Amino acid sequence: MNYKTLADACQNLEETSSYLEKNKIIAKLLQETPGERLEMVVTLLLGRVFPAYVSQETGIGLQQLKKAVGQSTGYSKNKIEDLMEQLGDLGKVAEKLTKEKKQMTLADKTLKAKKVFQNLRKLPKITGEGSVDRKIKKISELLTAATPKEAKFIVRTVLGDLRIGVSEGRLRDAIAEAFDLSSEKVEHAYMLTTDYGKVAKAIAEKGEEGLKELDLTVGHPVNPMLAQRLETIDEILKRMNGRAAFEIKIDGIRIQPHKRENDIYLFTRRMEDYTHMFPDLEKSVRNSIKPRKAIVDGELVAINKETGKPMPFQEVLRRRRKYNIENLAEEIPVEIHLFDVLLSGNKTMIKEPYMERRKELEEIIKLGDRIKIVESKILEKTSEIQNFKSEAVHKGHEGLLAKNLKAAYRAGRREFSWLKLKAEVETLDLAVIGAFAGRGDRAGTYGSYLLAARDSETETLKTVTRVGSGFTDEELEHLTEKFGKLRVEEKPSNLDSEIEPDYWFKPQEVFEINYEEIQKSPNETHTSGYGLRFPRFVKIREDLDISSVDTVEDVAKLFEEQEKHQTSDN
Ligand code: AMP
């Protein structure tokens, strides 16, 4: 196939802005391209020489490319710089100068598309002394053999921007049009392979059957399955037919480890290859995955050595980029918490239901310091789910994910078979004004506390909730000791409460409280007029005094926002 065919199509694409017209141009090109050349053509149309997920740097920037244009056309650096000023695009500069030169030289040699593709693919492999010059020579060789139009598109390909408006979405539609299939089917195949080149080739060779045969390949990232969000546990249970697997939602970055013998790849949610960012994980991943080859799915998380809680991930990435990775690996250890398996040995797992995949995952993973499996509990009771969620939040995680026990792994889809439990609402800071004696396991401690908000008009405290969950055993003990010293015999005079706790405290300490929702006129009579559903202790605010406690008006405002949010979501 001559590169001219591709360059002509690119030119036509550059000249039209009509979506339909562009589709037609691409579809025609794809139909006319022999099957074995489709991967190449699709990759080049996207302005690339490797699929997006392959991290290969050509090592050639604008300055080096200017030199290549200079070498192939014989014009000076100054002339090229001047034209750059005028035209703003080195592609156009190359086109213009090639045209001027060509008027003086004899016949063109026909440039093959494969030659362009191969030469450009070699660039990352040219290393060592004098490599930049050798790379420039490789490009100028192509430019010398190119027509003006071809030169323009070669230069733009090296720059990674063809300026012809061909995105992945457009390619999907054009492939569908060229081979008379639905865009959904084409897209689904893409979700598995992340490579429209492969998809186009499979269809061209075997039609729709070819798509069915497309399989997961180690080293090719799969578009990760995503989660929908629902507001309440009840809604989640309803969607899941009363029962689901609940997993802790770990707060890190999505990571998809691949293994083939000794080769390890780590892909992100956007299917970038992050293997080089985490060399400290390669060995652990290799040793932990038992089969010879596999693709698993999980969350990469950095743990603060002192608190044992997850660290903000952006910070970890920033520091990894900036400092020596080796040292940082010691200082900020990272772990992978796995929650799914897509390929295990020769078994493709994505069509299997959650339960089967989970079983397989547990079988094929050898747990280690760096590689864990996310805890999963099959639950059906609201209270149990709420407790699990509190536990997760308390450990510093974001909440829970509910997973449909029967659902397959739907690559790239955000559907209702994975559900996020609503992100935490804004917390409230409330005054601790009393406590109830603990029973059972909690005997001898204060088992729950009575909390109040400030009424700024009357300068009184009005009750909002009692809270008995979210505490660790150590916290309960510590708080019992602390509040023992604040006990008063009578209800404090600035307190308005209809509830009579076992003990009254001098209003002095503040708790930060999490909850699922604010209720107006709750069953339990609170003098603020509001109550909290599923309140949970977050922490004692040592830094706040009673004057900073949230007001009843604050609670009312949050309630209003919540209502607005719920109606707009419905
Ligand atoms: P979100 O990014 O808010 O849409 O939530 C979905 C993300 O949560 C996934 O893409 C993962 O990165 C992350 N996540 C954390 N823990 C889990 C888990 N147990 N199962 C699935 N996804 C998880």
- pLDDT grade for 47, boundaries at 50, 70 and 90: very high
- Closest-CA residue, ligand 1 atom 16, reads 249
Right CATH number for 226-422 from 1.20.120.1200, 3.30.565.10, 3.30.470.30, 3.40.50.300? 3.30.470.30
What phi, psi does 415 have (nearest 5°)?
-120, -170
pLDDT in tens, 517-551: 899 977 788 999 999 988 999 888 877 788 889 99
420 is in an annotated binding site: yes
Three-state secondary structure string covering 261-309: CCEEEEEECCCCECHHHCHHHHHHHHHHECCCEEEEEEEEEEECCCCCC
Q: Which of 226, 376, 401 gets mutated to test ligand 1 (max ligand atoms within 8 A of its CB)?
A: 401
Q: Scan for tokens 């990435």, then name that residue.
A: 317
Alpha helices (H) along 3-130: 3-15, 19-32, 38-45, 62-73, 77-87, 90-102, 113-122
Tens-place pLDDT, residues 372-414:
999 999 999 999 998 999 888 777 777 899 999 999 999 998 8
Q: Which residues of 218-244 are buried (b: 16+ CB within 10 A; e: fewer)?
A: bbbbbbbbebeebbbbeebbebbeeeb
Say whether pLDDT at 266 is over 70: yes
Q: What is the mean pLDDT of residues 3-12?
A: 97
Please list the active-site residues: 249
Which of 225, 226, 246, 250 to probe ligand 1 with, by most ligand atoms within 8 A of CB? 250
Q: Please state the atom number of ligand 1 nearest to the C-alpha of residue 376.
A: 19
Element (H, E) at 436: strand 428-437
* CATH placement of domain 47-159: 1.10.3260.10
Question: What is the residue extent of each domain of the chain?
Answer: 47-159, 226-422, 427-569
**pLDDT, the chain, mean:** 90
> Which atom from ligand 1 is nearest to the alpha carbon of 251?
15
| 558 CA to centre of ligand 1 in angstroms | 27
Query: How many other CB atoms are there within 10 angstroms of residue 24's CB atom?
Result: 16
Other Cβ atoms less than 10 A from the Cβ of 18: the count is 9
pLDDT surpasses 60 at 106 = no
CA-CA-CA-CA torsion sign (271, 277, 281, 286): positive
The amino acid at 170: R
The residues with which 454 forms a beta bridge, in sequence order, are 461, 551
pLDDT of amino acid 563 = 79
- CATH classification for the domain delimited by 427-569, as one of 2.40.50.140, 1.10.260.40, 3.40.50.2000, 1.10.3720.10: 2.40.50.140
CA-nearest residue, atom 8 of ligand 1: 249
414 is in an annotated binding site: yes
The answer to whether 299 is a known ligand-binding residue is yes
Q: Distance between CA atoms of 227 and 403, rounded to whole angstroms?
A: 9
In the numeric block, the tokens 């539609």 are attached to 173
Q: How far apart are CA 274 and CA 481, in angstroms?
A: 49
Report CA(343)–ligand 1 centroid distance (Å).
19
Per-residue pLDDT tens for 403-446?
A: 999 999 999 988 899 998 865 567 899 999 999 999 988 888 99
User: Whose Cα sits closest to atom 18 in ligand 1?
Assistant: 249
Q: Which residues line ligand 1 (CB under 6 A)?
A: 224, 226-227, 247, 249-250, 254, 269, 299, 339, 374, 401, 420
- Which residue in the block uniquely carries the two structure tokens 């909002």? 464
96 annotated as ligand-binding: no
